[in-house]
Amino acid sequence: MEEDNKPLLDSVRRGSYTDKGSTDSLDRGARRPFHVEHRNIVENDPSERVSAEASVLSSRVHYYSRLTAASDRLLSPPDHVIPCPEELYVYSPLGMAFKVTGGDGGAKNPSIITIFAIWNTMMGTSILSIPWGIKQAGFTLGIILLISMGLLTLYCCLRVLKSPKSIPYIDTSDWEFPDVCKYYFGKFGQWSSLLFSMVSLIGAMVVYWVLMSNFLFNTGKFIYNYAHNVSMSDTEFGTNGSERVICPFPDTGDHKGNCSSGISGLYLNNNNYYYYGNDTSDTAVFDRWWSKTNTIPFYLIILLLPLLNFRSASFFARFTFLGTISVVYLIILVTLKAIRLGFHLEFHWLESTQFYVPEFRLLFPQLTGVLTLAFFIHNCIITLMKSNKHQENNVRDLSVAYLLVGLTYLYVGVLIFAAFPSPPLSKDCIEPNFLDNFPSSDVLVFVARTCLLFQMTTVYPLLGYLVRVQMMSQVFGKHYPSFFHVFTLNIFIVGTGVCMAKYYPNIGSIIRYSGATCGLALVFVFPSLVHMISQKRRGELSWPSAIFHSLLIVLGVANVAGQFFM
């Protein structure tokens, strides 16, 4: 019987930590069982250090974990059941225990970090199309629309953010907006919110492919021209002088890839460079193999398709800082260009002149379409704001983030539009990708293109991963059903990108169509409907609110209709 009572920890007990006060509470002569209940470990304090509820919950969790397989979450404690961090203790079998200080659960960030994260996520490639959008809507109308769309989308974003809170009886702490749609609209809501989310993601991926082809082309062109000392200034229509701005499509209004010119002897090849006759010189050979629409989209397949098939995208998530650097560099670039080019603004209110566009144009829906995607963050705002330390400041922080995003877009758009050298060139020349208005020999713009190219190469697999995860888990139930499934999906996405890059590389159109479509559901219709239904269920729906939100839905539909008719 005596051997049974020998303490298991006897020899260790007499070791080095006898001088630490923490184990003094234990009776030296007593025999201690191996499992020490986390009560009187830390001090000789008779008061309870652990509440009874936490203690019995621990016992329950222990027991329930024996009843199911380790990976089965059927009997896992939900978040609302686990005691708050102040009641959690971590103790080692050697008898020391310490309290968990403050919650780690979800890495709480101060407001400034949250605002920055939202700004960083929202800043996409639509920044390149804002000057074109302002040009399409007219300068004054463009600025008015930018501010109004910003406010509208901010309001809808606030509705999305608050939507899980108004659901009674259910723990919605890990819900995203599609889950809210599923709650209110059933399967239809779940599938349609998934579908529209996919539209925005795949639209973004197609835009990325077109832009990457563009930037890769220009980068290669710059390097080739630099190495072979070829000057392009004779063949491109643009301003003269040190700060060259070009107009890639001077006569025609269309921006399609293939364009023909009737000037005899002059052939406009796919890169829109004039050359004489059947030029078989090195330049022509290079142009044939390094073509923005014919060959480069296919070269990109070799680079990007393998990256899309990676099982996990966490490697690419490390490079998000590149996006910030690119945007900041773009802002600096725009400022420098504006300083060097000066302002060229004339206000013609309704009529268009040779060099200027009216202040109010009928093509304004194109700008609203672009802005819907530019201000789109509604499918992940709930997750982003969950890690905000002071949740009561969510509305304020989101508004500040939208303000900063709006200011950035406004700055870039207005400066490029205003600085566009209008006497030789018409404002109508502003390209959907404003970097296209600078020749490939421009060093500053070359750096911008390279930065953006690199950044997009790292974001593209992330987007592909998001698409894959959402589609596969909804359709097949798991993230990676088999290599074949994932590969087929990737082929489809890449194929769409390549086709668009070859036949219709107008990113302005792609952005506005996909923006208006996904904005219809996720920005205008669903948040308004969800808000109205939840108010109605609580009996709080008033006439002004119903009219206002119905108006929002009508605006969303009009936005989409406007893309097709204008």
Considering the rule CB under 8 A, would residue 33 count as an interface residue with other proteins? yes
- Asked if 217 and 292 touch (Cβ cutoff 8 Å), the reply is yes
Residue in 23, 25, 40, 55 binding other proteins, rule: CB under 8 A: 55
Identify whether the C-beta of residue 533 lies closer than 8 Å to the C-beta of residue 167. no
Distance CA(369)–CA(515), nearest Å, equals: 6
Q: How far is the CB of 8 from other proteins (least distance, A)?
A: 13
Report d(CA 10, CA 30) in Å as an integer.
Answer: 10
Q: Residue 69 or residue 350: which is nearer to other proteins going by CB?
A: 69
Nearer to other proteins, 476 or 483 (CB): 476
Q: Which of residues 273-332 bind other proteins (CB under 8 A)?
A: none
Which residue among 10, 45, 64, 550 contacts other proteins (CB under 8 A)?
64
CB of 78 to other proteins, least distance (A): 7
Residue 62 amino acid letter = H
Pick the closer one to other proteins by CB: 60 or 228.
60
What secondary structure letter does DSSP report for 32? P
Q: Is 62 in the site for other proteins (CB under 8 A)?
A: yes
Q: Is 1 or 227 the residue whose CB approaches other proteins more closely? A: 1
Q: How far apart are CA 330 and CA 336, in angstroms?
A: 10
Query: Is the Cβ–Cβ distance between 119 and 407 less than 8 Å?
Result: no
Structure tokens at 482: 């088999």
Rg (CA), the chain: 30
- Residue 388 Cβ vs other proteins, minimum distance, rounded to whole Å: 23
Least distance CB 59 / other proteins (angstroms): 5
Among 10, 12, 21, 31, binds other proteins (CB under 8 A): 31
- Select 56 or 317, whichever has its Cβ closest to other proteins: 56
Closest to other proteins by CB, 31 vs 311, is 31
CA separation, residue 126 to residues 175, 368, 412, 502 (Å): 28, 12, 11, 20
- How many residues of this chain interact with other proteins, rule: CB under 8 A? 28
Query: In the bound complex, what is the minimum distance in angstroms from residue 62's beta carbon to other proteins?
Result: 7
Decide: is 106 part of the binding site for other proteins (CB under 8 A): no
Q: At what angle do helices 320-341 and 443-475 cross, to 10 degrees?
A: 140
In terms of CB distance, is 37 or 282 closer to other proteins?
37
Minimum CB distance to other proteins smaller for 75 or for 491? 75
Q: Which stretch binds other proteins (CB under 8 A): 67-75, 114-122, 214-222, 533-541?
A: 67-75
Cβ-proximal residues to 498 (8 Å cutoff; 6+ apart), any chain: 209, 297, 298, 300, 301
Q: Is the CB of 36 or the CB of 414 nearer to other proteins?
A: 36
Q: By CB under 8 A, is residue 66 in contact with other proteins? A: yes
Which of 19, 47, 69, 392 is the binder for other proteins (CB under 8 A)? Answer: 69
The DSSP code for 375 is T
SS3 state at 431: coil
Look-up of token digits 């953010």: 161
Residue 298 CA to residue 501 CA, distance in Å, equals 10
In this structure, are residues 551 and 156 in contact, taking their beta carbons and an 8 Å threshold?
A: no
Q: Given the structure tokens 């020749």, which residue do they identify?
A: 439
* CB of 60 vs other proteins, minimal distance in Å: 6
Interaction of residue 47 with other proteins, rule CB under 8 A? no
User: Least separation, in Å, of the C-beta of 169 and other proteins?
Assistant: 5
What φ, ψ does residue 179 adopt, rounded to 5°?
A: -65, -35
Task: Report the C-alpha gap between 436 and 422 in whole angstroms.
Answer: 16
> Binding to other proteins (CB under 8 A): which residues in 162-221?
169-171
Q: Collapsing DSSP states into helix, strand and coil, what is residue 267? A: strand
- Choose which of 22, 25, 77, 344 interacts with other proteins (CB under 8 A): 77
Binding segment (CB under 8 A) for other proteins, from list 74-82, 119-127, 209-217, 253-261: 74-82
- Provide the 3-class DSSP secondary structure of residue 29: coil
**What would the DSSP string read from start to end of 57-102?**
HHHHHHHHHTTS-TT--TTPPPTTTSPPGGG-EEE-TTS-EEEPPS
Smaller CB distance to other proteins: residue 52 or 350?
A: 52
**Is residue 74 within the footprint of other proteins (CB under 8 A)?**
yes
Shortest distance, position 58 Cβ to other proteins, whole Å: 9
| CB 12, min distance to other proteins, A | 19
Please give the distance of CA 190 from its chain centroid, rounded to a whole number.
21
Q: Which is nearer to other proteins, 69 or 302 (CB)?
A: 69
Residue 154 Cβ, how far from other proteins at the closest point, in Å? 30
Per CB under 8 A, 6 contacts other proteins:
no
Is residue 75 a contact point for other proteins (CB under 8 A)? yes
Q: How far is CA 214 from CA 271, 304, 380, 412, 493, in A?
A: 11, 15, 29, 20, 18
Assign 274 to helix, strand or coil: strand
Whether residue 215 contacts residue 440, with contact meaning beta carbons closer than 8 Å, is answered with: no
Q: 76 or 488: whose CB is closer to other proteins?
A: 76
Q: Which is nearer to other proteins, 76 or 482 (CB)?
A: 76
Least CB distance to other proteins at residue 373 (A): 36
Site residues, other proteins (CB under 8 A): 5, 30-31, 33, 52-53, 55-57, 59-60, 62-64, 66-69, 72, 74-75, 77-78, 80-81, 169-171
